[in-house]
Structure 1
């Protein structure tokens, strides 16, 4: 009965996360566009499947993944072994990112749009490896008590330098990849590890030292993916890439033909998709079992519940991906097509502002982290103010990203300018706010928002003459991650200046 109550809560949570999107799209359809999009029934069915998939996925995480992950984190913190903690941090970062639904969706879009030149699985493995390495580094930072601002300033200077040399086909995707790595699976696991470590070590502050792992997990994939783009687009000849893409397309066609000729082809296709989902979740299962039995050497508690939890994770992930293809991707592209078809571009900017603000205000991860930050800051921060500032930052960021697509400007200058501003504000901001501000930049886009915003960007780039879906379509998630950092840091700087003399800034 308790599980049914939890599932109902997760179902309402998933619907609440989707409701702002439905309301914003509905208002624009009724008041501005005044016509129904094609394939409305399939879109509504897709949205329902997304809600069901997210609810089942969350239920599975709460039953199987989170309890075991937190238990392992606490066990390693009590042992105090640096190699074990860093090894566990690496494995936790890698396994949680490889199964991230939003990353799976973006990687599939990138492979489709690049005609197979960018490999979706390679992209995900590269991002997961980079997140694993940086979570291990973040664990070391927490243990040593280093301030985060030096890591972020040096890191984003390196990001900007790599951006200067990266091919334009990869820059938007690279920054979006950083934004989607920290989401429904990753944030709770990584945040719990960081805050748990800081709370268990004498002399560490959960606000100053516990936060920051999510921020590092956002930054490093940007560097890794840009290097991947340099290899793919600079070192590999175009002819070889085109030939490889053609071979992939032919193989995919042959496979589809074989499946179509097989009796019960729909069931076979569903079984193959479920097996692919199992492959995505398998790293988390392997990490948990290895550390539980080979390192901690204790039996897994509540085995049946954990098995049921992982089965629900796989089923929910499958339903989520199906719902994306039926609902959220078509809605984003349809809205882009309809808004571009109007006489004025004002409504495109208004839609970007509205969808950014509304979806962020309803983001559960942001609500949770805002509450944790208010508690850890002992009155220095207000959770409602944080949510408003972050939502405003996301709205501004998506609007600026839409403007870049419309004008056709190079993303290089926008991104480098944005992070130059972030670095400058990081230098001025009080130290206690820096880890939280960068973490907030990584949790602003949910598993529902990312696919819609990605589809909106690709749809706009497709509809505007002279724009490339690969070069111009990606990048909106990056803008949605940069500007919340700016608004939160500015808020902290202003509040610090207005504070009466003699107050404690630290």
Structure 2
């Protein structure tokens, strides 16, 4: 696949996504905000950078992350010892979450807002380990044909049961973490990896079996941060 294949289509899609926001802001600027020209000039530069960044990122996803994840998944699925998918998923889940920009932003905001009470690195490692466990469970589901609901229903019930025991400062962080962990790195690479694994295992359907991993990734940070909140609460007592 050529590096610039499909870039024109992506550019048009990104422009179509940003244009309504730009029109919305200009209307408020003309009617209500009346911000100085310097601010408008900086805003225009920021929008241009965001436009270029989104185009380059989506193009990179299209030509690199998606095909690479699928090829790696199919290659790993060809291994006779299917149990190796579980530690492989743990390793990749940890690395992808550790590199996820949205996770870094959340950890920074948590550390700053709590004035260091909740460590930035502690949240980062908690989320990374939680997602690593969830990806390994997702690989086990693919390897041994375990229904997705066997993980989701007990997982969310456990999260609800943990709420009264966790430190209240961690509850909001926990549920936000679920959305943050399913950022662009996880969705683009790990999802295509799971679809590739499902395509490479005989008897698995990439549509019915390959999807569902992101749901597990969204659940894992909720549980891991709530458990961390329970530990903080016990340490305070």
Q: TM-score, normalised by structure 1?
A: 0.42
Cα distance in 1, alignment partners of residues 184 and 147 from structure 2 = 27
Equivalent residue number for residue 33 of structure 2? 35
CA distance in 2 between partners of 1:21 and 1:234 (Å): 46
- Residues 117 and 232 of structure 1 are in contact (CA less than 8 Å); yes or no, is this contact kept in structure 2? no
Aligned position for 1:173 = 173
Q: Which residue of 1 aligns with 2:230?
A: 230
Aligned: 1:121 with 2:141: no
Q: 1:16 to 1:135 in 2, by over 3 A?
A: farther
Q: Residue in 1 aligned with 2:137? A: 137
Quick check: 2:11–2:55 contact (8 Å CA) kept in 1?
yes
Q: 2:161 and 2:30 mapped to 1: Cα distance?
A: 45
Question: 5+ unaligned residues in a row in structure 2: which ranges?
Answer: none
Contact 2:61 2:188 in 1 (8 A): no
- Measured in 2, the distance between the counterparts of 1:161 and 1:24 equals 43
State the secondary structure of the residue aligned to 2:71: helix
Within 2, Cα distance between the matches of 1:42 and 1:235? 47
Note if contact 1:147-1:208 (Cα within 8 Å) is conserved in structure 2. no
Are 2:180 and 1:202 equivalent residues in the alignment? Answer: no
**Contact 1:118/1:232, CA 8 A, preserved across alignment:** no
Q: Is structure 2 residue 89 aligned with structure 1 residue 106?
A: no
Aligned to 1:149: 149
CA RMSD between the two structures: 2.8
Q: Provide closer, same or farther for how the CA distance between residues 15 and 229 of structure 1 changes in structure 2, counting only shifts above 3 A.
A: farther
Corresponding residue for 1:48?
A: 48
> Which secondary structure state, in structure 2, belongs to the residue aligned with residue 206 of structure 1?
coil
Aligned residue in 1 for 2:69: 69
Deviation per CA, 1:371-402: give whole Å up to 9, x if none: xxxxxxxxxxxxxxxxxxxxxxxxxxxxxxxx
Distance 2:192 2:54 in 1: 21
1:142·1:197 contact (CA, 8 Å) conserved in 2?
yes
Map of 1:365 onto structure 2: none
CA deviations over 1:192-249 (Å, ceiling 9, x no partner): 2222222333333333322111100000110111222333455259xxxxxxxxxxxx
Q: How far apart are the structure 2 equivalents of 1:214 and 1:45?
A: 34
1:59 to partner: Cα distance: 4.0
The secondary structure found in structure 1 opposite 2:33 is coil
**Contact 2:159–2:223 at 8 Å: present in 1 too?**
yes
- The gaps in structure 1 that reach 5 residues or longer are 238-506
For the structure 1 residues 22 and 81, does the alpha-carbon distance in structure 2 shift closer, same or farther, using more than 3 Å as the test?
Answer: farther
Listed one character per residue, the Cα deviations across residues 290-343 of structure 1 (whole Å, up to 9, x for unaligned) are xxxxxxxxxxxxxxxxxxxxxxxxxxxxxxxxxxxxxxxxxxxxxxxxxxxxxx
Task: Map residues 285-434 of structure 1 onto 2, 5 A cutoff.
Answer: none
Q: Give per-residue Cα distances to partners, 1:458-490, cap 9 Å, x unaligned.
A: xxxxxxxxxxxxxxxxxxxxxxxxxxxxxxxxx
The question of whether the paired residues in 1 share the 8 Å contact of 2:70 and 2:195 is answered with no
Say if 1:129 and 1:9 are closer, same or farther in 2 by CA, change over 3 A. farther
1:335 alignment partner in structure 2: none
Judged with a 3 Å threshold, the aligned counterparts in structure 2 of structure 1 residues 183 and 117 are, in CA distance, closer, same or farther, namely same
Identify the residue that residue 477 of structure 1 maps to in structure 2. none
| Change over 3 Å in CA distance of 1:169–1:44 after alignment to 2 | farther
Greater radius of gyration (CA): 1
Secondary structure at the residue paired with 1:220? Answer: helix
